[in-house]
Amino acid sequence: MKYLFKIICSFIFATSTYAQDISYGDGAFDAMFNIDSTFTRDGGKTFEVSASGQAGDYGRTYLSYTFTDELRTLSTGEFTGFAWAQNGEDVNTATLRGIWKKSGKIFKLYTLDNVSNGKFNIGSGEVDFVAKTITFKVSELNTD
C-alpha cells in the first residue's frame, strides 16, 4: 500500500511540474454577432455559419465557420473559420480554430485565433441558433 501511495504521489508531482498555465492578456473584450446564414452539407455532417457584428476594438467583424464532428459524438466537435474586421482604416483578418460542445439548446465554443496584427486571441463563447446570436469573451493570449 505504501508503494502504491508513493507511485501516485510521484505521478501527481511529475505531471504538475510540467503543466502550463494559459495566460490571458489585459483588455479582454466582448464580441457580439448575429447569424446571417447557416446551411448544412455532406448530408448534415458539416454545417457552415456566417455572422456579423462588433468585436471590441476590431470594430465591425464578419465571421464564417465550418463546424464538423469528426469523432461522430453528436454533441462535441471542432471548427475552423475566418474573420474579417474593419475599424476606420484599420483592417484585420484572422484564422479561427477551436472546439464546440452542445449544452441544451446552446453550443459552447472555445477558440484560438491567429490575427493578422501579429496577436493570438483566445476566447470562449456561445452560439444560439434559435436566437440567431453568437457571443464571445475574447482576450489576447499572453505568449511571453
Closest by CA position to 45, among listed 26, 72, 23 = 72
pLDDT tens column, 61-103: 999 999 999 998 989 999 999 999 999 999 999 999 999 999 9
Residue 100 is part of a domain; what is its CATH number? 2.40.350
Kindly state whether residue 11 falls inside one of the protein's structural domains.
no
Kindly state whether residue 73 falls inside one of the protein's structural domains.
yes
Q: Please count the structural domains in the chain.
A: 1
Kindly state whether residue 17 falls inside one of the protein's structural domains.
no
Kindly state whether residue 5 falls inside one of the protein's structural domains.
no
- The alpha carbon dihedral of 99, 48, 96, 31 has a sign of negative
And the C-alpha cell for 25? Answer: 492578456
> 114 is in which domain, residue-wise?
24-140
Amino acid at site 21: D
In whole angstroms, what is the distance from residue 16 CA to residue 14 CA?
6
pLDDT tens column, 101-138: 999 999 999 999 999 999 999 999 999 999 999 999 99
